């Protein structure tokens, strides 16, 4: 239909779908997990909460990245559209890398107890760093006339984000908090780590 021109604007549909997907994954789930990670993990590690300006700095690059992608991918065109897509990718990459690096530094400077949540948090941080690199690659791929990332690359990156970057932080918070809710001790490493290792092996 898009090629025949029978429906005006039909060529935008793939770009709209992809922009909507990343608005949900990066703009909703990603921002939520980033906020929880920056708020909870210092407490889990026995450190003071991060300074307000640090959190705002991360927010200041993650939010515009989502907005730019929503605008640029479906609607912008030509050189201007390509520039907006690259800016969105770079801003998102800086924010994602900041989240991953902050988590790693927080854990390294916190208490060194051998608790399962630490390993899930570290794995999640590593996937956030990889996500940062993939954002740039995907942004470069989306600067052509089609204005969206090829499906094979986008699908792979989506699974990395859902299971690796986001899934590990879910495991982190659950393994640390849920036992407290039910008046139980944290699960030992031998019970908690093998499923987490399988999860990350599957993502890889």
* pLDDT of res. 62: 94
* pLDDT of res. 148: 76
Record the pTM.
0.88
First to last CA, the chain: 37
Indicate the pLDDT class of residue 139, thresholds 50, 70 and 90. confident
The whole-number average pLDDT for the span 87-107 is: 94
Are the C-beta atoms of 124 and 103 separated by less than 8 Å? yes
* pLDDT of res. 9: 65
Q: Between 189-203 and 167-181, two packed helices, what is the crossing angle to 10 degrees? A: 160
* pLDDT of res. 145: 56
- pLDDT over 90 (residue 200): yes
d(CA 25, CA 13): 18
d(CA 38, CA 100): 10
d(CA 9, CA 80): 19
* pLDDT of res. 100: 96
* pLDDT of res. 78: 76
- In sequence order, the 6+-apart residues with CB closer than 8 A to the CB of 141 are 149, 150, 153
What would the pLDDT profile of 2-14 be if each residue is shown by its tens digit? 555 556 667 778 8
Indicate the pLDDT class of residue 178, thresholds 50, 70 and 90. confident
Mean pLDDT of the chain: 87
What would the pLDDT profile of 27-75 be if each residue is shown by its tens digit? 999 999 999 999 999 999 888 888 899 999 999 999 999 998 888 887 7
What would the pLDDT profile of 142-164 be if each residue is shown by its tens digit? 877 566 788 889 899 999 999 99
- pLDDT over 80 (residue 77): no
* pLDDT of res. 141: 85
User: Among all chains, which residue has been given the structure tokens 């659950």?
Assistant: 174
* pLDDT of res. 58: 94
């Amino acid at each position: 239909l898009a090629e025949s021109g029978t429906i005006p604007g039909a060529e935008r549909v793939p770009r709209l779908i992809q922009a909507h997907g990343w608005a949900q994954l990066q703009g909703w789930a990603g921002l939520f997990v980033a906020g929880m990670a920056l708020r909870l993990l210092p407490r889990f590690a026995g450190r003071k909460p991060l300074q307000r300006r640090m959190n705002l700095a991360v927010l200041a690059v993650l939010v515009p990245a989502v907005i730019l992608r929503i605008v640029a991918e479906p609607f912008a065109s030509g050189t201007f559209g390509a520039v907006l897509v690259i800016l969105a990718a770079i801003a998102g990459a800086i924010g994602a890398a900041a989240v991953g690096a902050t988590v790693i530094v927080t854990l390294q400077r916190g208490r060194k107890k051998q608790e399962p949540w630490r390993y899930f948090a570290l794995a999640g941080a590593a996937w956030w760093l990889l996500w940062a690199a993939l954002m740039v690659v995907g942004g470069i791929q989306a600067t052509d006339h089609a204005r969206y990332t090829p499906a094979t690359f986008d699908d792979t990156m989506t699974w990395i984000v859902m299971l690796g970057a986001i899934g590990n932080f879910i495991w982190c918070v659950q393994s640390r908090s849920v036992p407290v809710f039910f008046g139980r001790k944290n699960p030992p490493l031998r019970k908690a780590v093998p499923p987490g290792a399988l999860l990350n092996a599957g993502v890889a």
